[in-house]
Structure 1
Amino acid sequence: MLKLEEKGLQCISIGLFDGWKNFFVLIYQMWKSKKVFSSNMKSNVFSLLFFWKYGVVLVNGMGRHRGRKSFRFFLLILFRINWKKRIIFQNYYDFRYYRKFSSSSIYWVPGSGGSIREVGCSSLDIIVVSRNDKLPIISKAIIDYAGTVSDKVRFQVIGCDDFSVSSIFDSSTQVIGLGFIPQDDIFKSSSYFFQPYGYGEGVPHTLVDAIVSKMNIIISKRDYIGFGLAKLDFKYSVLNGKWVSLEYDIAHANLLEENVILSKYIEIINIH
């Protein structure tokens, strides 16, 4: 918003679920504004109902809806009638699918841009960042990869409390929940970052942070493709089965740096 205001655009931010009063203010502003921008899925659907308005819709992931054909078809219909809007996808698979079928202006931007954070040096701890409601969905991926490494390796799940973790994982898998940790400190305990599959994210913000912070990244080959890392010419070495370790240099990491990605969004939003 600050960058857009620097370009002379007036921006107003209103939450979709900030109470009934704000909801009616939102409808008024949607009607009045020349352009609208939305990001999370519920806000996107709401914005797409105003099909005659110019604007930008950022699809930052399909989440639990990714496997639901009915929902994908519903979105496709909304995209088709919103020919005045630009649709940005963070996930490359989603971008490729909707570009094929939609008549809207479709763009791909890999994530929201990463920030460099301090990284630890442990090689026996692996960092996973999630939250309690996602844990049952991503647990299969953690168990899957844990079965391919030494039993001395421990998974540290940041953002999930230890009670939730212990209710899902048994003692055969070394997983601990560290709960909330300040954003600047999430990588301080290890140099290894594990990105689990399962949730249907666009491009996880913490994954991008880990890349620009030059961590050792473990990811499934499917997500390596789906997050667009192959299109950005990141290389990998195979670890075990479906798991790979990213191989990249500073030039590759800089492609995902916050200011670089932000400039891509600004360019798309500000196209006349």
Structure 2
Amino acid sequence: MRTSLQRTVYTIYARRLRAQLTGADLPRHIAIVMDGNRRWARQAGFEDARIGHRYGAEHLDEVLRWCAEMGVRHVTVFVASVDNLRKRAADEVGNLMRMMEEVVAERLRKPTSIWQVHLAGRLDVLPDSTRHALKLAEEATRDNGADFHLTIAIGYDGREEIVNAIRSLLETAARAGHGIDDVAQRLSADQIAAHLYTSGQPDPDLVIRTSGERRMSGFLLWQAAYSELHFCDVYWPGFRKVDFLRALRSYAARHRRFGA
């Protein structure tokens, strides 16, 4: 627990960081790998590390509020890969799915939420109750009138997404009577992008990964080709506003080259 002096110092530092971002070029789309829930719980002294998933799910609310305050209107969060769902212990996966249903999906579909929900991934690998809760949130926020978009990547694998996009493109072309040679001649990056899970959403400008890991883990492999990457050593439930502002400061200080 912070002392009064620590809280004062923290507040002053956060204000200084915020002031440094005035007039800066900020990302319009941030993607986040929310990593380190279990390690955070063990470090915090909880006997059951799975409780970290609840803290992590609840923390998403706060981070979305920071994004809205800074004018970031598109956020994509990586919840779980297909491998996570298949290879981790059943009780851990079940706990994570309950957190998605009881915390994330339930809060997002409240009338007070400003975020329009989009889903990315293999929803067929999710439990029926989780898939239903997320689809309800997506439907409930479809016409909420707010220009804030949250994409939840769950049951997600970037390589599988690209394969599925090409398969969908070929199937669409076949239904339209186009042969494989014609498709090959006309194939473009934009055509493939139109068949991705995230079709219609802008590519992320900034990707943040918490927990100290320095890898993408298959997250948005196509979309993040020119994104700036920021790796943060804190675990997701401990990701503070100053950590968020530092990531924005780092982004604003870079000169984006887009492959040039």
Q: TM-score, normalised by structure 2?
A: 0.29
Structure having greater relative contact order (Cα 8 Å, sep ≥ 6): 2
Higher strand share: 1
Higher helix share: 2
Q: TM-score, normalised by structure 1?
A: 0.28
